[in-house]
């Protein structure tokens, strides 16, 4: 049996990896365990569904599923699991990712998939960490620290703007 992990990151194609790696990087920064898989519900449906079902017995807390085009992957994972699934619509050449967004966000009643922006894999990881943090004070403190750093960054930029003016910024 495979080891327990907090987050499963799945994607439908290796072409999604440059986007989905943002999820992995953020989870690493937060010290959250994860694994990453490439599985297509269209090209290898049995393997994808078998893996999706295995996540429940492994106590996975959140699934991040990135998919482009028809984007059925997040929905299949949501259909066979009770933990939260966060869908990442991947930008597509033909419809600029709107096809992916609509496919993921329009799930039927009873099978919800939280959906982030097109190519929003980092936000998916942030949301996953926030979900895990509801039951873990250490994780909650890490995400609070991260959000405080966002504020600090904006305040530094504003201070510079005030100091040098917009013409010299």
User: Over the stretch 117-138, which tens digit does the pLDDT of each residue have?
Assistant: 999 999 999 999 999 999 999 9
For 133-156, write each residue's pLDDT tens digit.
999 999 999 999 999 999 999 999
As a whole number of angstroms, the distance between CA 140 and CA 122 comes to: 17
Number of domains in the chain: 2
Check whether residue 72 and residue 127 sit in a common domain: yes
Which tokens hold the place of 1?
A: 């049996």
For 4-55, write each residue's pLDDT tens digit.
899 999 999 999 999 999 999 999 999 999 999 999 999 999 999 999 999 9
> Within a domain: residue 154?
yes
Check whether residue 144 and residue 167 sit in a common domain: yes
Helix (H) or strand (E) holding 151: helix 137-168
Q: What is the pLDDT of residue 4?
A: 85
CA 113 vs CA 84, 127, 149, 164: distances in Å:
7, 12, 29, 45
Output the domain CATH number for residue 44.
3.40.50.1970
């Amino acid at each position: 049996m495979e080891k327990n992990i907090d987050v499963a990151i799945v994607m439908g194609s290796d072409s999604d990896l440059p986007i989905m790696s943002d999820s992995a990087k953020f989870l690493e920064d937060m010290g959250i365990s994860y694994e990453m898989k490439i599985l297509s519900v269209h090209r290898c449906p049995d393997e994808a569904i078998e893996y999706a079902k295995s996540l429940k017995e492994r106590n996975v807390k959140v699934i991040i599923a990135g998919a482009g085009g028809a984007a059925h992957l997040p929905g299949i994972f949501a259909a066979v699991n009770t933990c939260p699934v966060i869908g990442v619509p991947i930008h597509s050449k033909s419809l600029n990712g709107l096809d992916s967004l609509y496919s993921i966000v329009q799930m039927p009643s009873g099978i919800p998939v939280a959906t982030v922006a097109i190519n929003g894999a980092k936000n998916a990881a942030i949301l996953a960490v926030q979900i895990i943090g509801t039951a873990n004070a250490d994780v909650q403190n890490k995400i609070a620290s991260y959000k405080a750093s966002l504020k600090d960054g904006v305040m530094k930029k504003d201070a510079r703007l005030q100091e040098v003016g917009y013409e010299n910024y």
